[in-house]
Structure 1
Amino acid sequence: MIFLMFTAMFEHSFSLTLEERVQQLERKVQQLEKRIEALEGKKQISMPSSQITDVIVADKNQKLITYTVLSKKFNPLKLKESLWQRSDQIVLKMLFKNNTQKELSNISGKVMIFVDEKKAMEKKININKALNFFKGMTIKPGEEVKMRIEIDYDPANPLHRKVKELPLNKLTVKFYPLKIDFADGTVKYIKYRGSE
């Protein structure tokens, strides 16, 4: 009898797929978060959002994550770097600031370089402090993170050549966050107005 009960419990726990078990756990965590917020009497931080709760609607000049371009340089491929680097690169040093009211664990987005209003280069990036154990692993509200952005350079592309030749003040560099991972586990996707 005990063996049959144990077998029935064991089969039930494996009858759910791993994905279903993860979804159940996520629902339980969300319920617990709501209960904790209710007990603590905290008000949820209001951000401009659409009807879908995991989407933030922003315009092209969004202020959630602001950025500054500190420098631009050309990094030619060196023999010793050829094992991990495939081509010459344009290297940007950028500073990103968390203007939300919550700690962040990661910001996904894209950096774009424009020459005469034409998109010349683009690179998807992740901004985080995962390897910085001394300063903490989350990006606090108001905190800035400095990053080196390396974009592959194609000498056959005339726009790439212009990016290489022109000084930084003659280029337009833009950063568009696409997804923000908060330290509390919530995730928000950025949808830009007019990009439907």
Structure 2
Amino acid sequence: MELWLSRITPNPRSAQARADLASAGALHRRLMGLLPREDLGDSPRQAAGLLFRVDESRSGTAVLVQSARKLDESRMPYDYGQIEHRELSPLLEALTTGQAVRYRIVASPTRRIGRSAKNGTKEVTTPLRGAEAEAWWHSRARDHGIEPRSLVAHDRHDAFDRSRGRRIRHAAVLFQGAAVVTDPAAAREAVRCGIGRGKSHGCGLLSLALLGSDT
């Protein structure tokens, strides 16, 4: 099964690119529009397997997009930005038990307080920050086949979508560091499917790179 990683470098002078970066919902819709519609059938979101993350660095802003279909740059607005593609199968096949990797993910760590029919309370989802968020990541990472050896965590701006009458908001935290693969199959599935909530709004994309390589 193919899995593509695309890196979009938005043009800061493009009004459309700036508008998309200002809303996770708008950016998701833009990226879905870059996929070949004829290949996605009746359930385009599921068929696309679309995950994305906005990365900020000294060199500027980049949008990393992972999908089961290669993005079609001809569908991007004129002067929107530059795009590069890479197929991820070689990386996934290289994952073995004990393999040292670097990881990076913007996730939405939460805790759910359960529903009780007896006292009439409803389920509440609470965002986690600080030490609680780090504990959440350690637990999720282990469940998904990697054991963190180091961790640096930074709060990110909440991911939100207020368009079309929506009021969607996800707390976002950047987790990155070094890890060891403990279950290659689970790690591959985590890369393909993402981790946690907010996957349609820029959360959940797990990036792995073999430690000491540029893969």
TM-score band w.r.t. shorter chain: under 0.3
Say which structure, 1 or 2, has more relative contact order (CA 8 Å, 6+ apart).
2
TM-score of the two chains, using structure 2 as the length reference: 0.21
